[in-house]
Structure 1
Amino acid sequence: MSTNADPLAALAGLPGVADSVDSMRKAVDRVYGHRVMRRRSNEITSEAALRGARGSAALSGADWALEEVRRRSDFGGEGEPRTVGAALRLTAEAGQLLGVWRQSPVRALARLHLVAAGGSAPDDTVGRPRQAGEQVAEPLVTLPLPDGDEVAGRLEGLADVLLAGTEAPALVTAAVVHGELMALRPFASSNGLVARAAERIVLVGSGLDPKSICPAEVGHAELGVEEYVSALGGYASGTPEGMARWITHCGRAVELGVRESTAVCEALQRGAA
């Protein structure tokens, strides 16, 4: 497959990307080889989901302690509780959408938005890309906002690239999906939560992280909002340097997610969790 027919493959050759892919792959392999994974992988998956949701919510302005997320059950209120609840729902939903994603990424994104925004946005904006003149609630990301026509065209283009298949590593594909959705902010609300759930779907569906134990959202949150927004700016710039910076940022986020799950494995092994 030529790089012309496979634009994502070209990104894999950007400076630093191959090293990031290799480092991340080795980290993922190590946690999958942990002895605890052989008999308690379901517990690791559940804990990774909780921690990933906490991280994603933090990047959308609801930076709660993990134990607060674990303890609470009332996520129906406005503001931060609703954001945390949406992140938890999306993390659960992502694993159910692998088949839909492979057939229609746009339909899967609509479902993710429906799950995230249900009850918190006007009904006629939920589950569909925004139209001309509609505002976006994404206060932490201040990149220039494409208009509705550009959003529709670029979403269709992204779906076409994904459906055509790619030789690019899973990290590259996941980073492009995440970055493009944040650059577009295609929905009236909850774009960050949806973009990070889509990144998770790609990492799981690619076979890199089939048990969903490497929560990139943890790493994105640990690296901090300022770095996240700055790296996104690199993606939005479209320059080779900017794209490489975003992809390697995402690789580091996965590695930090792996470190979190490795710590959970160690705690289980010691009988401390």
Structure 2
Amino acid sequence: MSTGTDSLASLADLPGVPEAVAEVRKSVDRLYGHRVMRRRAAEVTSEAALRGARASAALDGADWSLEEIRRRTDFGGDEQARTVGGALRISADAGQLLGIWRHSPLQVLARLHLLAVGDADPSAGRPRRTGEDASPLFPIDLAASEGHEKPTEGVQLPPAPGADEAAASLDQLAQLLVARAEGAKSATPALVVAAVVHGELLALRPFASHNGVIARAAQRIVLISEGLDPKAICPAEVGLAELGTAAYRDALGGYLSGTGEGMARWIGHCGEALRLGVRESTAVCEAMQRGMV
């Protein structure tokens, strides 16, 4: 899709999007006004990062419990452990990359990939090269690529664009984000900007692997940068996991369709996931207030 400012503004006016934006804003404001946030905001941020990482890893096929993640000290074992470890590293560093994001989003994306795969991987931190394919985004697609029967239900996602096309589109997206950071912001709501960044990274799949966890982390950074969730206490990844991989995949199909209806469905899905993330952190605040945490 075109990622110009005018294009983003038009997305904000699609049917259902203004309502989704208003509901998200109200939900986030209510959480920020919680009594616990006045005294223990840093703890809520830390817990949101952990829960977001757990959920993001689950969406990539490593569905571990919070208790297991808290107990573990080594995440370098099997593939699932490495997936969880990468999500934790990304979640821990995402908030520290905000200053770089404002003037060099591509540098941040490279850093996120390095955090996801570890520095021992020769592809760490670099985009796909000509002839390199991107790994599947969802476990359901990974199973199909490994020769298992592909489900007949749900949207069939197109393959990732070639490396050169992906790089060109990614550069356009980065230019838009830098322009917004430098003061060229339109009235486009943060939810819409975050959903577009999230969807575009899933569409482009600029790296050979781990594009899902990177896209979700980028969405979080946008929500912080755009001022909707400056303390990073609204883990949308939790909501995405709660809504389920099939719904996530189908909503992404709407984004990839490029139609107004499909784009609105994707933005609405991201909004609903964010509200569920708010609900998760609200429950954390309530537990803290009762002295249970």
TM-score over 0.5 for the pair: yes
**1-structure distance, mates of 2:197, 2:5:** 17
2:292 maps to a residue whose letter is A
Task: Tell me how far apart the structure 1 counterparts of residues 61 and 206 of structure 2 sit (CA, whole Å).
Answer: 19
Of the candidates 282, 286, 289, which is equivalent to residue 262 of structure 1?
A: 282
Q: Which moved more, 1:111-120 or 1:185-194?
A: 111-120
Is residue 248 of structure 2 the alignment partner of residue 228 of structure 1?
A: yes
Superposition deviation, residue 164 in structure 1: 2.1
* Contact kept in structure 1, 2:237 and 2:277, CA below 8 Å: yes
Instruction: Please give the secondary structure, in 1, of the residue aligned with 2:96.
Output: coil
Match for residue 132 of structure 2? 134
**Distance in 2 separating the partners of 1:23 and 1:175:** 15
2: CA distance, partners of 1:143 / 1:268: 45
Indicate if the aligned counterparts of 2:133 and 2:160 stay in contact, CA closer than 8 A: no
Structure 2 match to 1:103? 103
Of the three residues 205, 210, 213, the one matched with 1:190 is 210
Which residue number corresponds to residue 56 of structure 1? 56
Q: Deviations over 1:153-197 (max 9, x none)?
A: 110111122122232111001100010000111001111111111
Which one of the candidate residues 144, 160, 174 is aligned to 2:175?
160
Distance 1:209 1:5 in 2: 21
5 Å matches for 1:138-153?
Answer: 138-140=136-138, 142-153=157-168
Q: How far did 1:6 drift?
A: 2.9
- Could you tell me the TM-score, scaled by structure 2's length? 0.89
Q: Cα offset for 1:7?
A: 2.0
Instruction: Determine if contact 2:4/2:176 at 8 Å carries over to the other structure.
Output: no
1:19 aligns with 19
* Counterparts in 2 of 1:210 and 1:66: CA distance versus 1, 3 Å: same
Q: Which segment drifts farther, 127-136 or 15-24?
A: 127-136
Deviations 1:205-260 (A, max 9, x none): 11111111000010011000000111011111111111110111000011000000
Task: Give the aligned partner of residue 47 of structure 2.
Answer: 47
Task: Give the aligned CA root-mean-square deviation in angstroms.
Answer: 1.4
1:95 alignment partner, SS class: helix
Q: Distance in 2 between matches of 1:78 and 1:154?
A: 34
State the match for 2:153 in structure 1: none
Query: Any residues of structure 2 matched to 1:166-181 within 5 Å, and which?
Result: 166-167=185-186, 168-181=188-201
Deviation at 1:5, TM superposition (A): 4.6
Sort the Cα spacing of 1:5 and 1:215 in 2 relative to 1 into closer, same or farther, 3 A. closer
The sequence identity of aligned pairs, in percent, is 65
**TM-score scaled by structure 1?**
0.95
SS of 1:97's equivalent in the other structure is helix
Determine if contact 1:101/1:108 at 8 Å carries over to the other structure: yes
Cα distance in 2 for residues equivalent to 1:33 and 1:62? 34
> Is the CA contact 1:129–1:151 (under 8 Å) kept in the aligned structure 2?
no
Shift of 1:150: 0.8
1:248 aligns with 2:263: no
Change (3 A) 1:5 1:42: closer
Q: Take 2:286 and 2:166, find their aligned partners in 1: how far apart are those partners?
A: 44
Question: What do residues 110-139 of structure 1 show as CA deviations (whole Å, max 9, x unaligned)?
Answer: 111111112463x1x221210121122235
Equivalent residue runs for 1:106-125 within 5 Å: 106-119=106-119, 121=121, 123=122, 125=123
2:232 to 212, 229, 237: 212
Aligned pair count reads 269
Which one is further off, 259-268 or 166-175?
166-175
CA distance in 2, matches of 1:143, 1:170: 27
Q: In the TM superposition, what whole-angstrom CA distance separates every residue of 1:33-90 from its partner, at most 9, and x where no partner exists? A: 0001100111111110100000100111101111111111110113100000000000
Matched residue, 2:8: 8
Q: Distance in 2 between matches of 1:26 and 1:219?
A: 17
